[in-house]
Structure 1
Amino acid sequence: MEKSKSFPEYSCSYTEFGFRDRSSSYNFNGPTQKGTGFITSDDPELKRKKRIKAYNVLTAEGKLKTSVRNSFKWIKNKFSDIRYGV
């Protein structure tokens, strides 16, 4: 890298600070080679576990929605009872 013009004694090189070259940085799309220790996405057991987790999340969301809906109904009924004196 080139030297800074305003501060010539300081270098802009990242290798001096221990940073790696960009070509060897982490790949966020997963490993590029198979057999590197990561579980492949073709594993049916892994797919089943992910599917079950998704079902459990949907179930929890449904329970939460039902609870909130029932709470609003309860509050609405209480205010109606107070207002109309039932």
Structure 2
Amino acid sequence: MEKSKSFPEYSSSFSGEFGFQDRSNSYTFNGPYSKADPELKRKKRIASYNVFTMEGKVKSSVRNSFKWIKNKVTDVRYSSV
């Protein structure tokens, strides 16, 4: 391993203690490089789909509740006249 003449504490090899051969901290054009399990990615994606589904159900339930309240108030208001 050849040492630099101006900086003898640094070697000319990149495979030193900083781990430049390890790609865990490198970036690709699509974001950080990771060796994530495809099955784990699929599970996360499905979980996010389930969250969107539940949000839609909650919104629909709230919307239907307001419609029901509005209809009841309207019925009471106009039926007593």
Which of the five TM-score ranges fits, normalised by the shorter chain? 0.5 to 0.7
The two structures have a TM-score, normalised by structure 2, of 0.54
- Corresponding residue to 2:60 among 60, 65, 75: 65
CA distance in 2 between partners of 1:38 and 1:53 (Å)? 20
Report 1:30-49 matches (<5 A): 37=33, 43-49=38-44
The two structures have a TM-score, normalised by structure 1, of 0.51
Bigger strand share: 2
Q: Does 1:84 align with 2:67?
A: no
Question: Counterpart of 1:68 in structure 2: which amino acid?
Answer: R
Ranges in structure 1 where 5+ consecutive residues have no aligned partner: 1-29
**Deviating 4+ runs (over 2 angstroms):** 36-40
3-state DSSP of counterpart to 2:54? helix
CA distance in 1 between partners of 2:48 and 2:66 (Å)? 27
Identity %: 6
Question: Who wins on radius of gyration, i.e. which is larger?
Answer: 2
The C-alpha deviation readout for 1:46-74, integer Å capped at 9, x for no partner, is 10001001001100100100110110010
Report 1:17-36 matches (<5 A): none
CA distance in 2 between partners of 1:43 and 1:58 (Å)? 23
How many residues align structurally?
A: 52
- Corresponding residue to 2:49 among 54, 69, 81: 54
CA distance in 2 between partners of 1:69 and 1:39 (Å)? 45
**CA RMSD in angstroms, aligned pairs only:** 2.4
* Cα deviation, residue 37, structure 1: 2.3
